[in-house]
A and B are shown apart, each in its own frame.
Chain A
Amino acid sequence: MSGGPQSSQLVSAPAAELAPAHARRGRVAGLLAVVAAFISLIPVLWVLSISIKPPDEWLAYPPTLWPRRPTVTNYQVLFQVGNPVGTIAAMTRSAEPVMPAVVNSLIIAPIATAISVAIGTAAAYAVSRYRTGGPMMPFLTLTTRMFPPVAFAVPLLVYYRSLGLIDSRLGLVLMYSAFTVAFSLWMMRGFFDGVPRHIEEAAMLDGASPWRVFFTMSLPLVKGGLAATALFVFILNWTEFLFALIFTSRQAVTLPVQVSRYVGAIGRFYGPQAALGIVASIPPVVAGYLIQRHLVRGFTFGLVK
């Protein structure tokens, strides 16, 4: 990043002259950035707003961003707590309970994440330190992300039918770990590559076993990376839709699928559906916020340095 003393001397004069222009550009950029950020909030603000509107305001025209009569009824209906009153209470009876989907997502996504990260991290260490499996091995794992999941779903249906895994949490856990392991491998490889080797080598010379070095030295050194990888893989597992749609029907339905089919018998059930959408978005958005700084690495597999 920093140039030598020579280069800093070279630019010091023009940089000083440019300062006011730079500051002005900063203000313009700041304004534009705030506008862009606000625009990017609108669609979800709209969902949030509908989630706190009573039924007669869901499609009120002209639409109101801030509800005339804000209410938590939609959330109550969703989780069937308290005694929601009015038309919406009648509609409630026609809708499916959502708690099973919440529970399923809370079980499936974290377990799949743990498996994916464990397998991916182990392989990443071998690849980073020993180039195990040759240069093609990490690349081959990426093909699982390259092709449309629906193409894998067709043959996997054959597996799942014969193993009795259709509509089971275990079935989704296995599938999710398998389809996110490529990310675990590539992210962790990037983090392991960033750790200097000489510490490990010194310990090996002192007679420590490779397992001991791996668990007590290398892994603690990439703790931060491990957390970032886990959160990122968790977002993928939490938000996955296609496999859950195909391979579940009652027992193992996840939140995204539940959002898509939360429709009452009497027309669209916009308020509670919006509330469910908000609920389904909270965990990944929180996870995303926590790993913001590591995201670049996560998405680009360390290609961009």
Chain B
Amino acid sequence: MRWSQALGRFFNGEKVFQLTLVAPLQLLMWVLLIVPTVIVVYLSVVGWQPILGVDWWQAPFVGLENYLRVLSDARFWEAVGRTLLMVVFAVAAEFALGLGLALLFRAEFVGKRLATSVLLYPMMLPWVVVGFAFYLVFLDRGPVNYLLTSLFGPGAAVDWFRYPTLAIATIVAADIWQWTPFMFLILYSGLSALPKEPTEAAMTLGASQWQIFRYITLPMLRPVIVVAVVLRVLEALKIFDLVYIMTGGGPGTSTESLSLYIYRVGFVYGQLSYAAAMAVVILVGIALVTRLAVRSLELRLQGM
């Protein structure tokens, strides 16, 4: 039994123990992150379209052609602009509403637990279902138009999905509805974790509610706000499901988000190499845009 003893001692060594614990994750990260990154960069410099019957490793090298095409692709840049627009409006509204609700929920009231549950549930729903719900609500003959006509007369009904601006507004509304709870959750927990002494001291000194909020609560809450907004922005940049189900990018391509455009180019039109080039461009873009945000996140991480 010397073998098994040796084996046992080997696996019980602390170093081996640690490595065994992280090995599956490392493997997954290699398979999922490192190798695909290499593949996507490779695909972006060749001309691969599966429909042509050529395997990906045999596709001809085209250098930076795909990237040059991205640069001059109006539909791509419109999708970029549109996605940023949606993110700005959605996250700003989510932050304002989330903070408002968080401040509201600091008070004690009857049914608080139930109200919290109800408020949080939009987050759990499949995005597809949220999109479908908003599609139905904003439909021609749906409740929103009914409400509008009963308030402002028969001329007030709007064909929401026919006009680009309005269609985008409905998508943003769905995003706000689904993710305000997330903002609320983080900000509320941040608020409840703040030390009470500074506020109480300011109160005894006769500071007004607004002064307390502006000069004490808000500054103390800043790190939490940064985390909430950064997480939400990163998530909102991926917007796909809501657009796909509500407008399908239409009318025309006027509500197409970045993810939806790349999905179409790669998986509907079958131009995998061109989709790869766009993927690389947005990977780099997101990495750069979030660099600053990540720094502030790291500060928080080290505090853990």
Contact = CB atoms under 8 A, between A and B. Distances in A.
A295 B193 CA distance: 15
B245 A119 contact: no
A148 interface: yes
A270 interface: yes
A222 to B, nearest CB: 14
Contacts of A140: 29, 33
Nearest to B260: A150
A127 B130 CA distance: 37
Nearest to B36: A155
A191 B234 CA distance: 25
Nearest to A28: B107
B262 A304 contact: no
B21 A126 contact: yes
B136 A304 contact: no
Contact of B196 (A1, A65, A295): A1
Interface string A144-180: 1111111111111111010000000000000001110
A202 interface: no
Contacts of B114: 37
Interface stretch (A71-79, A86-94, A95-103, A234-242): A234-242
Contacts of B112: 30, 33
A132 interface: yes
B19 interface: yes
Contact of A141 (B29, B36, B228, B276): B29
14 contacts: A33-B101, A34-B115, A37-B114, A37-B119, A40-B181, A42-B143, A43-B122, A43-B130, A43-B136, A43-B137, A150-B262, A239-B127, A241-B240, A256-B128
Interface of B: 11-12, 14, 17-22, 24-26, 28-29, 31-33, 35-37, 39-40, 43, 50, 56, 101, 104-112, 114-130, 132-134, 136-137, 139, 141-143, 146, 150, 177, 181-182, 185-186, 189-190, 193, 195-197, 200-201, 203-204, 224, 227-228, 231, 234, 237-238, 240-241, 244-245, 258-259, 262-263, 266-267, 272, 275-276, 279-280, 282-283, 286, 290, 297-298, 300-302, 304
7 interchain residue pairs of minimum CB distance? A30-B109, A288-B124, A155-B39, A151-B279, A155-B36, A37-B118, A43-B133
Given A154-B275, A277-B129, 17 more contacts: A11-B200, A30-B115, A32-B104, A33-B115, A36-B101, A40-B177, A122-B25, A151-B279, A153-B263, A158-B39, A178-B32, A241-B127, A256-B127, A259-B126, A285-B125, A304-B190, A304-B193
Interface of A: 1, 3, 7, 10-11, 14-15, 18, 22, 25-30, 32-34, 36-38, 40-44, 46-47, 50, 59-63, 65, 118-120, 122-123, 125-127, 130, 132-133, 135, 137, 139-141, 143-159, 161, 177-179, 181, 185, 190, 193, 209-211, 214, 235, 238-239, 241-242, 245-246, 255-257, 259-260, 270, 273-274, 277, 280-281, 284-285, 287-289, 292, 295-296, 299-300, 302-305
